[in-house]
Amino acid sequence: MGVTTSPDGIKEIRTPLSDADVESLRAGDRVRITGVLYTARDAAHGRLDRLIEKGERLPFDPRGQIIYYTGPSPARPGDVVGSIGPTTASRMDKFTPALLRLGLKGTIGKGYRSQAVKDALRQHRGVYFGAIGGAGAVLSQFVKKLSIVAYEDLGTEAIRRLEVESFPAIVVNDCHGGDLYQDGAKAYAREGA
């Protein structure tokens, strides 16, 4: 099992993820991810999409993997990485269902997903995690190794393979239709807005 619950109530996730792992997660669950994440954002998704359209092999096998939507700042000498928080996920909505169809299990970002992505999460057993946007300095601590996998010419937008330990996130959209953003706003909305 890639998902276990710690005494503090936080779910520990070890990559890669299986369908059963994904099914055990619910919107609002706090998680710590250990293992491998692949970074990709706008430009890299554009290139991946062209490969998928042509039926060609991707630079990494997406099956069971998690894509982290981020473009890190440069590392200072001696550091693994610079600041590395999430970017807005909705810009990748156009590309996400095709990747989920190929076996991708998770994405990490911030902000709303489209209905098409939420439907694809249900259909293909996928999960969307939120990481804290703008907390790039804190999040850099959880990245232990980094290597470039593809598209080095894209600079910060290259695909990187990260090895992370206890990377903190929260389940925003689960594969059962749960949505933290909807639940959270409903719970705290007050009269007079």
Partner 1 sequence: MRDVHVSAITDAVKKLCIEANLDLEPDMLRAFDGALRQERSPAGKQVLQILKQNAEMARTRRIPYCQDTGFVVCFVELGQEIHVTGGGLDDAINEGVRQGYREGYLRASIVRSPFDRVNTGDNTPAVIHADVVPGATLRILVMAKGGGCENRSKYRMLTPAEGVPGVKEWIIECVKTAGPDACPPLILGVGVGGTFEKSAILSKKALFRELGSPNPDPTLDALEKELLDRANRLGIGPQGYGGDTTAFGIHILTYPCHITSLPVAVTIECHAHRHKKVTL
Interface with partner 1 (CB under 8 A): 43, 70-76, 79, 82-85, 87-88, 90, 110-112, 130, 132-138, 140, 154-157, 170, 180-181, 183-193
Residues 176 and 131: their CA atoms lie apart, in Å, by 20
Beta carbon of residue 20, minimum distance to partner 1 (angstroms, whole number)? 26
Distance in Å, CB of 134 to partner 1, minimum:
4
1 or 187: CB nearest partner 1: 187
Q: Which is nearer to partner 1, 21 or 179 (CB)?
A: 179
Task: Quote the CA–CA distance of 85 and 93 in Å, as a whole number.
Answer: 18
Please list the residues that pair with 117 across neighbouring strands: none
Based on CB atoms, which residue is closest to partner 1, 2 or 72?
A: 72
CB of residue 29 to partner 1, shortest distance in Å? 11
Report the candidate in 162, 130, 125 with the shortest Cα–Cα distance to residue 146: 162
Q: Report the residue number, 1 or 189, with the smaller CB distance to partner 1.
A: 189
- Closest CB to partner 1 among 32 and 124? 32
Shortest distance, position 49 Cβ to partner 1, whole Å:
15
Gap between the Cα atoms of 174 and 29, Å rounded: 10
Task: Tell the smallest beta-carbon distance from residue 157 to partner 1 (Å).
Answer: 8
Q: Which amino acid is at 102?
A: L
Q: Are 174 and 183 in contact (CB under 8 A)?
A: no
Looking at beta carbons only, is 64 or 143 nearer to partner 1?
143
Give me the residue label for tokens 């503090």.
Answer: 8
Residue 34 phi/psi, 5-degree rounding, is -125, 135
Give the span between the Cα atoms of 101 and 29, in whole angstroms.
24
By the 10 Å C-beta count (0-12 exposed, 13-18 middle, 19+ buried), 73 is classed as: middle
Cβ 127 to partner 1, closest distance in Å?
Answer: 16
